[in-house]
Amino acid sequence: METTEKITEAYCRDIKHWFTVSNIKCGGQYEIDILAVEFPKTGSPKTYHIESGASISGGFSKLTAKPFFETDLKTRVKAASQRRTIGFFIERKFGPKAIKERIADFGLDPQQTRKIIVTWGWEEEAKKIADPL
């Protein structure tokens, strides 16, 4: 587990008082960083699929709305910038069938699970795309 994931999970547990499970292995070499459940005093539980994408590199610190190309993940000089696109999170972190099936294995509805991206910053266009997730 990366440092940003540990900090995020500690925040969810200690500050938000959510139940969490981290580093959940899924089929196809996918992984869920954190799955969290909030039990409010009234109403139904709320579930969250949290992915951390923080980078300390100045050139790759912001989440962008630039196009995501799966093939560029295999090109060393292009991979880092691809992992900072909103498309990467939508297609590789939240979208695969194996991830949705794993969430369902916990008895949770993948369609009702809110998606959260933890990042140092973002471009406004990326935020507009990410907000409804």
Contact residues for 108 (Cβ-Cβ < 8 A; gap 6+): 35, 37, 47
Distance, CA of 46 to CA of 29 (rounded, Å):
26
Query: For 10-53, what is each residue's pLDDT tens digit?
Result: 999 999 999 999 999 999 999 999 999 999 999 999 999 999 97
Q: What is the pLDDT of residue 55?
A: 60
Q: Would the pTM of this model clear 0.75, i.e. be above it?
A: yes
Distance, CA of 11 to CA of 110 (rounded, Å):
23
Alpha helix stretches (DSSP H) within the chain: 3-10, 76-82, 86-88, 97-105, 124-130
60: its two tokens: 């790759």
Residue 59 has pLDDT above 60, yes or no: no
Domain boundaries, the chain: 3-122
Residue 120 has pLDDT above 90, yes or no: no
What's the pLDDT band for 56 if we cut at 50, 70, 90?
low
107: its two tokens: 């008895």
